[in-house]
A and B are shown apart, each in its own frame.
Chain A
Amino acid sequence: LPWNASRKAYGLYLAIAASTVAVLLLDLSSKTGLAVGMLYVIPVTLTLWTKNWRFPIYLTLVLTPLMVFGWFLKPPGYLDAAVVNRPLSIVMVYIVSFLCALQLWAVAERRKVEENVESSEEKYRTIFETLNEGIMTSDIKGNITLANRAVVEMLGYSAEKELQGKPALQIYPDPEIRTRFTELLRREGRFRNLEVDFKKADGSLVPVLLSGILQKDKEGKWAGFLGIFRDMTEMKKVQEEIRKAAAYNRSLFEASLDPMIAISPEGIITDVNSAMENATGVDRSEMVGFPFENYIAQKALAIKGYQAAFKEGSLSNYELELLNRSGGRTPFMFNASVYRDGGGEVVGIIFTARDITEIRSYEEELRRHRDHLEELVEERAAELRMANEELQEKTEDLTRSNEELEQFAYVASHDLQEPLRMISSYLQLLDRRYKGKLDKDADEFIFYAVDGANRLQTMINDLLQYSRVETRGKTFTAVDMNTVMGVVLNNLKVAIEESGGVVLSDPLPTVLADEAQMIMLLQNLVGNAIKYRRPDEKLLVSVSAVSSGQEWIFAVKDNGIGIDPAYHDRIFRIFQRLNPRSEYEGTGIGLAIAKRIVDRHRGRIWLESELGKGSTFFFSIMKTGGK
């Protein structure tokens, strides 16, 4: 028993069981022979409500031993009657059971068939309703008989009822159209994919793609129409978009100032733009369908180019010359990339070509300029090289002549000493031995000879000193000019005392210089100041220094006789004298040596002076030592 059966089923099973037990009890309480066994028909009959054709048979199989058992438990008084009676009852029960089973089976079968029909109808109904295509039927009178959900939605209604039974004409904006369709259907039986506008519930139009079939009844007579249609609104939009996109692409293609050429994988031109027409002077109808290389000067290069583009997917900055109708050539820079269909298959190449005539000419000009520039640079470099060589030669010459000069000065002064010493010595010996022993003239002659020899000796010594400024110069060290000044004052002590004057000095800096030469320099300047003092005025010499940028400027100021500006340059030359020897001693080497020392220190020497107004000598010394 199915334990999960409904309450109603329980009742049924309870009734079957109860009636079975009741019949058994009745059978046991009465003598067999009575046709009590026949009563087992009751529970069997009850199985009719179980709706299971196997149930009466199972029940009967259960009841059979009970019937036999009942018969044995209460043996009949009438054996013959009982022998006939009980089997008859059993047979009866079996017959009823069989009939019941048959009945139940038949019912079950019919039910199955009905269910099939129902589910099939359901299926078609579902399809009918869920289909995106609208399906509508109309009868012979032109009234709508069926319309699916898609129709309702497509035409803007809320329920099928709003269409059912209504004239089909109401969905056509123009009755003519329907008339044409119905005539077409009656003539042809069907039509396919005709574009038509249907009128919606609110009066607006919806574009549809309509197919129709003529429906016939069983006798083959015209019974109505069936129409299937699809909403084309979206499709129309897409088509419009595609059309627009195509137009956009085309206008882009045509608007390009650069020639554009599309070719197939075989190298056949499939499309060109107007810029290409202009560039070649050939109409596009004459280009499309012809090989690409026909319009290129370098045919082999052109083929190689597009083959490379197909292989690599693109081509960049490929130079080719485009041929125009009259055979002229124009240089173009080609760029290309392949284009593919929806499936990704390469279907062609689009070339873009840029006229590089102008760029070429610019490049040419640039190259010319560059070449010219290089020439100029080369020329200048050569000039410079020559100038440099000249300079070097001159420097060498100068160095050599300087060296020679120094050598000359040194050797001359040095080697001149020997014979001079002889002249001088023997003149003196002559003077010593024979003075006053010869006549008066002889004494005078000897005097001038001795004097000349002595002066020559002094000059040679001066020259030697002058040349030694360079040849005997020491390396520069830090020199405290206060110390230098101290040495100078000490050296000139006697001269200062004799002059009765004063030499003052400000605090002086420390400079990088040759100390011995600094002493000589200052001593020469201060010595000059003392020497060329004014007899009528007390001598005052002051030494000072100021910082000026990269150098120190020293000043030696006196209140002496002064120097006419006309001679300011001359006084620094060797052996130049402004005053007669009889008044002031000296060869005139002092300032020349001073200048040479200052020059060696890369400094300058100059003076400010006027006759009778004293002099100030300035000299500068680089703070870095002239390096």
Chain B
Amino acid sequence: LKERINPIEILLVEDNPGDVRLETEALKEGKIFNRLSVVRDGAEAMEFLRKKGKFVDVETPDLILLDLNLPKKDGREVLAEIKADDDLKRIPVVVLTTSRNEEDVLKSYNLHANAYIVKPLDLEQFINAVRKIEDFWLTVVRLPSK
């Protein structure tokens, strides 16, 4: 971990500011040096990933936290587009949503989501879950180098 010079880039696709703040707080308490970028809808997320418009200078994220219910372009479409894009499909996408719907779970994995996590209702559990995501995807697994 110390070998890393640059901070870990995380993209959070979430329209609910409350959740954004909660996730930010949770990540703040984490041990990993990270940089969190937040976009509020699906269209913006794709622009971010493809470095278009105002996102020309952004870094390609190491992990994407994706909510399913988003304005304009919803999470499912975003997921499908990412996994269909040769440049983006290797980025791990963790679906983070309130939906317990079995259909959403199935659909997400069919679209090659890397993980599906239901937002825990309890704050403690929520923070715990975010930390575990961070820990697992950014330290435990080995991802291809960019």
B98–A421 CB distance below 8 A: yes
Query: Does A422 count as interface, using CB distance less than 8 angstroms?
Result: yes
Contacts of A418 in B (CB 8 A): 16, 98
Among B32-40, B55-63, B72-80, B115-123, which stretch is in contact with chain A?
A: B115-123
In the docked arrangement, what's the CA distance between A428 and B120, Å? 13
Query: Does A248 count as interface, using CB distance less than 8 angstroms?
Result: no
Query: Does B124 count as interface, using CB distance less than 8 angstroms?
Result: yes
Residue of B18, B19, B123 most packed against chain A (CB within 10 A): B123
Whole-angstrom distance between the Cβ of A331 and the nearest chain B Cβ? 83
Residues facing A in B1-40 (CB within 8 A) are 16, 18-19, 22, 25
| Interface residues on chain A, size class | 10 to 19
In the docked arrangement, what's the CA distance between A457 and B121, Å? 9
**What DSSP secondary structure best describes chain A's contact surface?**
helix
A421–B25 CB distance below 8 A: no
Residue of B98, B119, B121, B124 most packed against chain A (CB within 10 A): B121
B98–A417 CB distance below 8 A: yes
**What DSSP secondary structure best describes chain B's contact surface?**
helix
Closest to B124 in A: A428
Residue of A422, A425, A429, A432 most packed against chain B (CB within 10 A): A425
A421–B124 CB distance below 8 A: no
Query: Does B137 count as interface, using CB distance less than 8 angstroms?
Result: no
Q: How many A-B residue pairs have CB under 8 A?
A: 29
Q: Count the B residues whose beta carbon is within 8 Å of the partner chain — how many?
A: 12
Whole-angstrom distance between the Cβ of A459 and the nearest chain B Cβ? 13
Q: Quick one: CB contact mask for A404-433 with B, threshold 8 Å, 1 for yes?
A: 000000000000011011101110110010
Whole-angstrom distance between the Cβ of B117 and the nearest chain A Cβ? 14
B22–A429 CB distance below 8 A: yes
In the docked arrangement, what's the CA distance between A418 and B18, Å? 10
Q: Quick one: CB contact mask for B107-136 with A, threshold 8 Å, 1 for yes?
A: 000000000000101111010000000000
B98–A426 CB distance below 8 A: no
A429–B16 CB distance below 8 A: no
State which of A422, A428, A457 has its C-beta within 8 Å of the C-beta of B18. Answer: A422
In the docked arrangement, what's the CA distance between A422 and B21, Å? 10
Whole-angstrom distance between the Cβ of B121 and the nearest chain A Cβ? 5
In the docked arrangement, what's the CA distance between A426 and B123, Å? 8
Given contacts A425-B22, A425-B126, A429-B22, contact A417 B121 (CB under 8 A): yes
Whole-angstrom distance between the Cβ of A410 and the nearest chain B Cβ? 12
29 contacts between A and B (CB under 8 A): A417-B98, A417-B121, A418-B16, A418-B98, A420-B121, A421-B98, A421-B119, A421-B121, A422-B16, A422-B18, A422-B19, A424-B121, A424-B122, A424-B123, A425-B18, A425-B22, A425-B121, A425-B123, A425-B126, A426-B18, A426-B22, A428-B122, A428-B123, A428-B124, A429-B22, A429-B25, A429-B123, A432-B123, A457-B121
The 9 closest A-B pairs by CB, nearest first: A428-B123, A422-B18, A425-B123, A421-B121, A425-B22, A429-B123, A457-B121, A418-B98, A417-B98
Known: A420-B121, A424-B121, A429-B22. 8 other contacts (CB 8 A): A421-B121, A422-B19, A424-B123, A425-B18, A425-B126, A426-B18, A429-B25, A457-B121
